[in-house]
Amino acid sequence: MVNKNRMNRVAAAMAAAALMSVAAPAATAQAAVVTPRIDLKVLVVDDGGSSVGAITAQLKDTGVPFTRIDLAAAGRPVINAAFLSDTVDGRPRAKFQGVVLPNENPFGAGSAEMAALTAYETTYGIRQVDAYTWAHPGVGLEYTDNGGYSGQLDGTQAAVTAAGKTGPFAYLGGQVTFEDNSTLVPESYGFMGKPRPGYTSYVDAPVAGGRASLVGEYTHDGRSELVVTFGYNQHQQQFRLLARGIVEWLTQGVHLGQERNYFAVHVDDVFAPDARWNKELNCTPGDYACAGGEGKESTIRMTAADAQYAAQWQTSKSFKLDMLFNAGAGEEWKAENGNADALTAQLVADRAKYRWMNHTYTHPFLGCVQDTTTVPWTCTKNAQGAINWMSRAEISAQIRDNNNWAASKGITTDRTELVTGEHSGLKTLPQMAQDNPNLAGALADNGVKWAGSDNSREPAQRAVGAALTVPRHPMNVYYNTGTNAEMADEYNWIYTSRADGGSGVCEDNPATSTCLPAPLNTATGYVDYIVPAEARTALRHVLANDPRPHYVHQSNLAEDRTLYPVLNQVLDTYRSLYAPSAPIVNPSMRESGVEFQRRAAWDKAIAAGQVTAYKIGKDVVVKAPSGVVAPVTAPNGTKKQMLLGTTDFGTAYAGARSAWTAPELLQSAVTLKLL
C-alpha cells in the first residue's frame, strides 16, 4: 500500500526544489541588474589651469553642484572606489554624474587614482571631459603632423559638425569663431587632429587638405570622453558658445541648474534732456564740476522722429526696450519750450510698444544733500555734525508723482520696480558709505520691491529694507553725447595719455583702464572702434547666463542715434551664432531680480549641503529646503509627477526643458519622469 502522506511530502519537496531552481537564477539576475542611483553632482579635478577654471565657472554660474579636488593641495582626498561610490538603502550609488579632468590622465601613467576613475566610469556609465589636451592616439586623434595643425588659433573659423548639430551643440547656428581682439597679443592656442576609429568630431576647422577636430567624443573600453584640444578661459567667446553643450554632454542632459541668454536694455531719462559734452572744455557744462562751463550749457533730447524710429527699430529687431521715464523733467522742458512736446505725444501714443519703468519724477539726487562747491562733492551736515539726508516724504513723492503721471497717460508700469536717478539714495563711495536711511521706508511706502543699482559699483544683489537691488551693466555709450564725433572725443579724453591730449586717467589707473595707443579719429572712431568693443562686452554678458540689464540714456536714441549700431551688432551676431531654439531672453527688471533671488537661495542651500538629487533609471528626484526652488534641466519629453498623474516639465530652451521647480502640493520632493 502506498503511503499517500509520504508521496505528498515528496511531491511538495520536489515542487519546492523546482520552484527554487527557477526562482534562484531570477533572484540572482535581479540582484545583478539593480539600477544604481546616480547623484546629480559633478566631480572636478583641478590643476589650476584656465580650461578647468572655465568649466568650473560654468557649473557654478548655472547652479550645477560640483566637488572640486585641487591636485596641488596638501592632504587632498584620494580618488578611490570609496570616494567615488558606495551603497545607499541597499542600492549602489555613484556619487558623481560626470567627471571633469584637466586632460585624459592628470595623475600619471599607472596611477591608482586614474584606474579607480576608469573602473567607476565603466561601471556606472559616467562620462569624462578632458578640459584641454593635445591631439594624439590616446584620445582618438592622429598626431598633428598627420593631416592636422598645432599653433595659434586667433580668428580661426571653426564650425559645428553634422554630429555636433544633432548632438550636444544643436543649439548653435554652426559657426564657432575664435576671438582675435588684438593682433599684438596671442589669445588662443591648440591642436587639430584627424579622427581615428571611435572618435566622433563635434567641432572642427579647416586645415591643409581638409578639416580636423577641435572638440569630439572618444568612445573606447566602455567609456566616453569629450576631448577638447584648445586652451581657453571662461570669458572667451569660443568657450562661451560651447560651454552649455559641454555640460549637457557631461551630464547626459539631466542636471541641476539651468541657463538662459539674457539681454535687456534700459533707456534712462526718457522725457528729460541730458547735458552735452563740450569738446573744448573736456567736461559737461550744466553738470557737476565743469570749470568754465557757465553759460555754455547745451542739452540733448529725443524728437518725435527719434521716437518713431525707436518703435520701428524694435519691430525690425523683435526686441523690446525698457523706457525709464522722468515725467516731471519732461513737464519742465515742455513749460520752457512753448508748452508743446511732440516727443511725449509720440511716446505716449506708442506706449503699448515699450516696457515702462519709474525713474523718479524729476531725477533729483536722493541721497545726502550735496555740497557741489567742492571737488569731489561732499555731504552737507547739520549743526550736530550729522549728515543731511533727503527726507522719506520727498523720496516717496518722487516715486508716487511719476507713477500717477504715467497712470494719467494710460502708461502701464510695474510699481514694484524703480531705478532712482544716478542710482542715488544707495550708498555712493567715498561720500556716502551707507544708503540714505530714509530710502528703504520710501520704497516700502510705494510698494517697491526691486531697485536698480550700478553693477560697476555693486555687482551683487542686496537688501534695501524689504526691497532687493538689481545690478545693471552700464554701457560705454555716454549719456552726454548725441553724435558719433562727441562719443569719440570724450572716449579719447578718458582713454588716451596726457601726451596724446587725454586726461591721463588711464595712466593713473593701469589696473582698471588701458590707454589707447593713439587717439581715435573722431569722424570714424565711434563706428570703427567703440561700437565693436562695446558690442563684444555686451555679447559676453549675454552668453554668460547673466540676467543683469544694461543701461543707456535717451540721448543715445537722439541725433546720431548712437545706441543702435551697438544693439544691432549684439543682436545680429547673436542670431548668427545660435539656432532659433535658443532665442535671447528679454527679461523685465522684476524677472531679473527674482532670478538673482532664487540663485542666492539655491547657492546657499548647495553650500550648506541641504540639497539631495539623484537619478534612478528614468526617475529623477530633487529635495531642497522648504521655500527653495530648484533649477533643473532635463531632455525633451520629461514629465513632472503631480499628485495625480504627470504634466510636461519646464519650458523649452536650447533643445532641452528647464525650469525653477518645487514640489507640488502634499509632496516632499520634485520627481521627474524621463522619456
State the pLDDT confidence band at 32, using cuts at 50, 70 and 90. Answer: low
Task: Give pLDDT, residue 33.
Answer: 82
Task: Give pLDDT, residue 448.
Answer: 98
State the pLDDT confidence band at 513, using cuts at 50, 70 and 90. Answer: confident
Type of residue numbered 571: L
CB 661 within 8 A of CB 630: yes
State the pLDDT confidence band at 47, using cuts at 50, 70 and 90. Answer: very high
Task: Give pLDDT, residue 31.
Answer: 47
Longest dimension (CA), the chain: 134
Task: Give pLDDT, residue 452.
Answer: 98
Q: Say which residue, 416 or 27, is predicted with more confidence.
A: 416
DSSP run (H or E) holding 536: helix 531-542
Q: Give tens-digit pLDDT for 271-285.
A: 999 999 999 999 999
Q: Give tens-digit pLDDT for 546-579.
A: 999 999 999 999 999 999 999 999 999 999 999 9
Q: Give tens-digit pLDDT for 48-60.
A: 999 999 999 999 9
Overall average pLDDT of the 596-605 stretch: 98
pLDDT-wise least confident of 99-103, 245-249, 289-293, 403-407: 289-293
**Residue 615 predicted with pLDDT over 70:** yes
Task: Give pLDDT, residue 421.
Answer: 98
Type of residue numbered 248: E
- Identify the three-state secondary structure at position 370: strand
**Residue 6 predicted with pLDDT over 80:** no
Q: Give tens-digit pLDDT for 414-439.
A: 999 999 999 999 999 999 999 999 99
Q: Percent of the chain having pLDDT more than 70?
A: 95
Task: Give pLDDT, residue 507.
Answer: 95
Overall average pLDDT of the 186-199 stretch: 97
Mean pLDDT estimate for the chain:
94
**Residue 653 predicted with pLDDT over 90:** yes
Task: Give pLDDT, residue 619.
Answer: 98
Strands of 394-526 (E only): list them: 417-418, 450-454, 463-464, 467-474
Task: Give pLDDT, residue 28.
Answer: 45
CB 66 within 8 A of CB 56: yes
- Tell me, what DSSP letter sits at residue 629? -
Close Cβ partners of 331 (under 8 Å, ≥ 6 residues apart):
405
State the pLDDT confidence band at 14, using cuts at 50, 70 and 90. Answer: very low
pLDDT-wise least confident of 31-40, 195-204, 367-376, 475-484: 31-40
Count the Cβ atoms, other than its own, within 10 Å of residue 118: 16
CB 127 within 8 A of CB 224: yes
**Residue 192 predicted with pLDDT over 90:** yes
CA-CA-CA-CA torsion sign (594, 599, 604, 606): positive
**Residue 521 predicted with pLDDT over 80:** yes
Q: How many residues does the chain have?
A: 675
**Residue 506 predicted with pLDDT over 70:** yes
Count the Cβ atoms, other than its own, within 10 Å of residue 535: 21
Q: What is the 3-state secondary structure (H, E, C) of 483-497?
A: CHHHHHHHHHHHHCC
Give DSSP secondary structure letters for 117-182: HHHHHHHHT-EEEE-S---SGGGTB--TTTT-EEEE-TT-EEEE-HHHHTTTTTTB-SEEEPP---
Task: Give pLDDT, residue 21.
Answer: 33
* C-alpha–C-alpha distance, residues 369 and 355, integer Å: 32
Task: Give pLDDT, residue 26.
Answer: 43
Task: Give pLDDT, residue 20.
Answer: 32
